[in-house]
Chains A and B, each alone.
Chain A
């Protein structure tokens, strides 16, 4: 099929493949740097405004994170929104004047708390509250999310896979409610309840703004104003690139192989000496880091954090992205994240205006988005469980498996005179191996 065709096109020699790979990366880099300069990205009513591209990149980062949990380690997490929430609230706490409001509701008679901390922030020194540098906040958000991942994972990861899905879902539902209700805890306002926290400070670019004018990129500003999606895009692309790199390194390393061993067969993995709990916790923690980083960055893009953003549908959109792209494939997760987010943010609305102006109807694609995502999940599971871009390893496994099956068929049918039972699971291709005699 298509993948075979691609394989045929690739050069045979090692050097040739390497040259192809490097030139591919260079072309990708130039394309990404050039992307905000294209005219279509400036058209806010067009199909691909820069704002949507930035959100696509943020969601691609989330998909990368969830891909580690679901794709690499095979743990179904339906509460990924929890890490997004922790990341976003960490940024909102540490990068806004909210520190000043904590005891506002308690009234003047009580002791007034006020945190006024400034550290390399883009915010003016006269502002009250905690204002840290975005880059420090990102690290803190990553740590907070990783700790949250471990805290959620530690009691739950020994559960069966379906119960694990349920419990993560439960956490994903509990946390927003807790954050909503913590607007008033014994008179203290910890989360500002339904009103949300804002405005979140701008991202400070620090020493990077001292650089001379770069080709394609242009001059980097001292801090990113809210309408400067170009610089926001470059920042999130850097995060994505870092996470792609670490995903690939982790996948091929000891930890990644342990994750895949657990995904294929937990019992066999534990017999081979893979420490189950520790390995799974690492998957959770690493996956959560992407959620935390993405959440913190998201807070700076939208400027105000509201608890209504953190709904179950978010977890499903990300899951949809991972499954559409191909579980366990880093590039697939990115592609899935971009495609799904585009449909979610702009695509459906744009398509319906196009469709309606062409056909003269009044049809709203956007109102079918839940069904669409649901349909993507169901159809992918039924007809292409390996995703649109299957992981390279599963491609090889599939090839080998086909050979074994053909061999099986020959002998089996002749001897007993009945059709061979097709025990081959219809689901995830990577688990095909388990039935090999």
Chain B
């Protein structure tokens, strides 16, 4: 896969002055063989993985497909969270460790407002309306929290050495977790779902309605996101700021406002993911954000950090891989989920930091 790209970079890549299509190693000849070898190993791994999936499917086709559906629904949630990571990284080059915890806060806020304030505990048409209201409320709340975090913590460190905002993000993550403990308690808290409990039967396969609802809510959100980024004036300003902050500033773009906007959008998506997560899993826990956030970041890395479409595809891919590992035959099982996820993260970051579609980039000097 990588060989064609690396040996002859296409013309439009060379036009882009900011990405230098050079191999990372100093000696070109050595680098070429090394990349060839790496891509061959990558192919072998991919082939082995595909064979594994096929074997799993053959062993238990029904279980496999049901797990796949769960994976798609989980993947949709991961995509929502991953978008927040990838947008923030795209615009200020910061791994926002607190983003997962924001998602957790979204889930807790959603659950509390739906159950305790609105009193909706079972499935009914009124409850669905209130669920929609809760969804919007949680999105707004998380967007606000994220904007405030950016304003208070990250903005002052925008020109600081890279270590400083990273450490700050870790600190913010811990503060949010503490808020989560205060709101939710330190033990997992079981919640009610207002989604219909039934299932659709397509042949021998059973698809739970809640998974369909998740995909049905996520897809328009993602489309809306794409519309905002690609078609609106603010979206254009966002893309410009991501490309070159100083130039955007000179062009009259209010960079601070745009960055706030990006944090707001990311926060809103995290809030939506939180509400949907509670509806599917019927539980909230204060440390959910840390692990799911990291898995979502893995998704973002898989699709190429900074690449919006990549984040969505990576999210779905990660969701599917996770649920295959959890439930499909011949896979390792739930107790190894974290290991599998983080191994993917580590392998991706080391061998293909640009993501599965991305080009191998050298760090800007």
Chain A contacts to B: CB under 8 angstroms: 70, 74, 76, 78, 155-156, 158-163, 165-167, 169-171, 173-174, 177-178, 180-181, 267, 312, 316, 319, 323, 367-378, 381-382, 385, 423, 425-428, 431
Q: Are A316 and B174 in contact (CB under 8 A)?
A: yes
Q: Which of A158, A159, A376, A385 meets B164, CB within 8 Å?
A: A385
Q: Are B163 and A377 in contact (CB under 8 A)?
A: no
Q: Which of B153, B157, B168, B346 meets A167, CB within 8 Å?
A: B346
Q: Which of A170, A368, A378 meets B345, CB within 8 Å?
A: A170
Q: A159-B350, A167-B349, A177-B335 are in contact. Are A431 and B167 (CB under 8 A)?
A: no
Q: Are B353 and A170 in contact (CB under 8 A)?
A: no
Give Cα A426 to B157, complex, Å. Answer: 6
Q: Are B178 and A368 in contact (CB under 8 A)?
A: yes
Q: Which of B24, B153, B297 meets A158, CB within 8 Å?
A: B24
Q: List 10 A-B contacts (CB under 8 A).
A: A78-B170, A161-B162, A165-B166, A166-B297, A180-B335, A181-B336, A370-B174, A371-B175, A371-B177, A427-B157
Instruction: Describe A's contact surface by its main secondary structure.
Output: helix
Q: Which of A161, A174, A425, A426 meets B343, CB within 8 Å?
A: A174
- A426 — nearest CB in chain B belongs to which residue? B160
Question: 7 shortest A-B CB distances, which residue pairs?
Answer: A377-B171, A374-B174, A371-B178, A427-B160, A427-B164, A374-B175, A170-B342
Q: Are A378 and B350 in contact (CB under 8 A)?
A: no
Q: Which residues of A contact B94 (CB under 8 A)?
A: 162
**0 or 1 for each of B95-130: is its CB under 8 Å from A? (1 = yes):** 100000000000000000000000000000000000
12 new A-B contacts, CB < 8 A, other than A370-B175, A374-B172, A381-B167, are A159-B353, A161-B163, A170-B294, A170-B342, A170-B346, A181-B335, A367-B182, A374-B177, A381-B165, A382-B157, A425-B159, A426-B156
- Distance in angstroms from B268 CB to nearest chain A CB is 23
Q: Which residues of A contact B339 (CB under 8 A)?
A: 174, 177-178, 181
Give Cα A70 to B173, complex, Å. Answer: 20
Query: How many residues in B have their beta carbons less than 8 Å from beta carbons of A?
Result: 47
Q: Are B338 and A174 in contact (CB under 8 A)?
A: yes
Q: Which of B324-359 contact A (CB under 8 A)?
A: 335-336, 338-339, 342-343, 345-346, 349-350, 353
B290 within 8 A of A: yes
Q: Are A312 and B290 in contact (CB under 8 A)?
A: yes
Q: Are B336 and A370 in contact (CB under 8 A)?
A: no
Q: A155-B350, A159-B350, A160-B363 are in contact. Are A378 and B168 (CB under 8 A)?
A: yes
Q: Which residues of B contact A180 (CB under 8 A)?
A: 335
- Distance in angstroms from B188 CB to nearest chain A CB is 16
Q: Are A162 and B95 in contact (CB under 8 A)?
A: yes
Give Cα A369 to B175, complex, Å. Answer: 9
Q: A381-B164, A381-B167, A382-B168 are in contact. Are A370 and B181 (CB under 8 A)?
A: yes
Q: A174-B342, A177-B339, A316-B174 are in contact. Are A385 and B350 (CB under 8 A)?
A: no
- B179 — nearest CB in chain A belongs to which residue? A371
- A176 — nearest CB in chain B belongs to which residue? B338
Q: A173-B338, A177-B335 are in contact. Are A370 and B177 (CB under 8 A)?
A: yes
Q: Are B338 and A431 in contact (CB under 8 A)?
A: no
Q: Are A381 and B346 in contact (CB under 8 A)?
A: no
- Distance in angstroms from A68 CB to nearest chain B CB is 15
Q: Which of B145-197 contact A (CB under 8 A)?
A: 153, 156-157, 159-168, 170-179, 181-182, 186
B8 within 8 A of A: no
Give Cα A167 to B353, complex, Å. Answer: 12
Q: Which residues of B contact A76 (CB under 8 A)?
A: 163, 166-167
Q: Are B294 and A169 in contact (CB under 8 A)?
A: yes
Q: Are A374 and B163 in contact (CB under 8 A)?
A: no
B11 within 8 A of A: no
